[in-house]
Chains A and B, each alone.
Chain A
Amino acid sequence: MDKKIKVLIAKPGLDGHDRGAKVIARGLKEAGMEVVYTGLRQTPEQIVRSAVQEDVDVIGLSILSGAHTHLFPEIMKRLEESDREDIKVIAGGIIPEGDHKELKELGIEAVFQPGTPISEIVEFIEKEVK
Chain B
Amino acid sequence: MTNDIEKLYAEIQKGNENIIAQAISMVEDGTKNGLKLMKKIYKNVEPAYMVGISGPPGSGKSTLTQRIVQLWRKQNKKVGIIAIDPTSHFSGGALLGDRVRMNEISTDPNVFIRSMATRGSLGGLNSSIYDTVLIFSLAGFDYIIIETVGVGQNEIDIVKLADTTVFVTVPEAGDEIQAYKAGLMEVGDIFVVNKSDRPNSQQMVLTIEQLVSFKDEDKEWKPPVISTNALKNKGISDIKDWITKHHDYLLDNKLLKENRKQVIKAQMINLMEKTLNEKYIKPILEDEKFPEHIEQIYDKKKDPYSTVEELMPFD
Contact = CB atoms under 8 A, between A and B. Distances in A.
A34 B107 contact: no
Contact of A49 (B87, B95, B106): B106
Interface string B105-123: 0110000111101010000
B93 A28 contact: yes
B107 A37 contact: no
A31 B90 CA distance: 10
Contacts of A3: 29
Contacts of A55: 21-22, 24-25
B86 to A, nearest CB: 11
A116 interface: no
B99 A37 contact: yes
A33 B115 CA distance: 13
Contacts of B106: 38, 46, 49-50
B88 interface: yes
A2 interface: yes
B103 interface: yes
Nearest to B23: A55
A83 B90 CA distance: 35
Contacts of B87: 34
Interface in B186-204: none
Nearest to B81: A53
B95 A26 contact: yes
Interface string B127-141: 010000000000000
A29 B99 contact: no
A3 B31 CA distance: 9
Interface size of B as a range? 20 to 34
A37 B93 contact: no
A16 interface: no
A35 B107 contact: no
A75 to B, nearest CB: 14
A39 B100 contact: yes
Interface centre among B18, B22, B101, B106 (most CB of A within 10 A): B106
B93 A35 contact: yes
B95 A25 contact: yes
A30 B93 contact: yes
Interface string B1-44: 00000000000000001101110110011100000000000000
B107 A46 contact: yes
A36 interface: yes
A1 B103 contact: no
A26 B30 CA distance: 26
A109 interface: no
Interface in B237-282: none
B177 to A, nearest CB: 29
Given A38-B99, A53-B112, A55-B24, A32 B92 contact: yes
B21 A54 contact: yes
Contacts of A82: 17-18
A26 B28 CA distance: 22
Interface in A8-38: 25-26, 28-38
A6 B95 CA distance: 10
Nearest to A25: B95
Nearest to B100: A39
Contacts of B95: 25-26, 29, 35, 37
B68 interface: no
Contacts of A33: 93
Interface of B: 17-18, 20-22, 24-25, 28-30, 87-88, 90-97, 99-101, 103, 106-107, 112-115, 117, 119, 128
6 contacts: A1-B30, A4-B119, A34-B96, A36-B115, A38-B106, A49-B107
Interface of A: 1-4, 6, 25-26, 28-39, 42-43, 45-46, 49-50, 52-55, 82-84
